[in-house]
Amino acid sequence: MSNKIVQDESVQVTAEASGTAAEPASASRRKFLGTAGVGAAAAAVGTVAMPNVSRAQTTTLRFQSTWPARDIFHEFATDYANTVNKLSGGRLKLEVLPAGAVVGALQLQDAIIAGALDGGHGVSAYWFGKHGAFSLFGTPPAYGWRANQMLGWIKYGGGKELYNELLRDVLKLDLVGFLYGPMPTQPLGWFRKEIKSADDLKGMKYRTVGLAADLYKEMGVAVTIMGGPDIVPALDRGLLDGAEFNNPSSDRALGFQDVAKNYVVGSYHQSCECFEVIFNRSKFEGLPQELQAILETGAEAASADMAWKAMDRYSKDLKALKDAGVKVTKTPENILQAQLQAWDKVIENRSKDPFFKKVLDSQRAWAQRVVGFDLEFEAPQEMAYNHFFKNS
């Protein structure tokens, strides 16, 4: 399949608004030419108005996710594409492909830069190997903030500008990207045995990504980085002793419950995260400005719907996992404390890089103010929940 932008031209008349099927371009052109003489004569006598005719051009972009087709994350990628396609009124079409259709999950960014794909959907932490700061825009330190508060920093706290600086100035990548889609706190992960203390994690072969890899290395864990589709097979073959991916819906669809029964949730290693959509910059800048705006604002529109859909699906799938015999426990407090101490060391080590520290300082200032406001202003959630539902 050609990887260049595909452009289809057709003639649309106002009758299309009634839902009638569009004619082939050649037939439309013949009809237009055949009636041109009549139209000209009518115009000459000034008695007949021409129908409202507009020329529409559809630009198709090949857009791959970093997720298997069965994962809810691929569904989120498709939801974003559908939002863009709808907002563009047919002028723009994102053709969505699952992970592996063109390249593997961890090769997506390079494929887009090379032009093998026009765009894609993933998380910025996957590009952690190119610069540690990529993970700050996806899996930052556990400052007590939630993912929506992190996205507030992206939008209003300077995060968007710093992200663009990383792409354009620091790494000089031929990319444009948008961050969206708040994710809840991720689980500590799936394990064959019960996890009761930080000592149980030492020496364990464990999968994670981004800055969490640094964090777990500080805790004595043997970290392996791999894409989502590869995790369950690795657990099944004993190549991993434990692993985290993201949420109950994704984990259930990927089949974690078939290879492990201990699901430990509520971890500080990735307490908030968001998605990233990226496009080849040259392709993006070759689009009309209104279509560029739709690709960006479409991410914000899809972000809200994604958050609401996740509330529904994640809670249902966590119950389904419990019903299937999975033991769900909270991360022990001693592990949470060990994670926070490890974060201190990761932050200290990584802050030797000037740009990393620049991003980190911006995040800290935002989190201190915004999370502080929340803690002071919001009513306690757990007290009210327990009052109404504890004995349900």
**Section 162-189 average pLDDT:** 97
In a domain, 275, yes or no: yes
pLDDT at 45: 37
Query: Among residues 56, 61, 58, which one has the least CA distance to residue 5?
Result: 61
Q: Is the pLDDT of residue 96 over 50?
A: yes
- CATH classification at residue 345: 3.40.190.170
**Section 18-37 average pLDDT:** 37
pLDDT at 1: 44
Candidate from 10-19, 24-33, 302-311, 356-365 with smallest mean pLDDT: 10-19
Provide the whole-model pTM: 0.83
In a domain, 210, yes or no: no
pLDDT at 34: 40
Query: Among residues 240, 303, 280, which one has the least CA distance to residue 77?
Result: 303
Query: Among residues 64, 141, 123, which one has the least CA distance to residue 98?
Result: 64
pLDDT at 225: 87
In a domain, 126, yes or no: yes
Q: Is the pLDDT of residue 373 over 60?
A: yes
Q: Is the pLDDT of residue 56 over 70?
A: no
In a domain, 238, yes or no: no
In a domain, 85, yes or no: yes
Candidate from 12-16, 62-66, 183-187 with smallest mean pLDDT: 12-16
In a domain, 367, yes or no: yes
pLDDT at 11: 30
**Section 336-360 average pLDDT:** 97
In a domain, 95, yes or no: yes
Domain containing 163 equals 1-9+54-184+270-378
pLDDT at 392: 77
In a domain, 206, yes or no: no
The set of residues, in sequence order, having a beta carbon less than 8 Å from that of 273 and lying 6+ positions away, is 123, 125, 138, 139, 147, 183, 186, 246
Q: Is the pLDDT of residue 178 over 90?
A: yes
Q: Is the pLDDT of residue 7 over 50?
A: no
Q: Report the domain count for the chain.
A: 1
Write out pLDDT tens, residues 122-132. Answer: 999 999 999 99
Maximum CA pair distance of the chain?
92
Write out pLDDT tens, residues 215-259. Answer: 999 999 999 988 888 899 999 999 999 999 999 999 999 999 999
**Section 19-44 average pLDDT:** 38
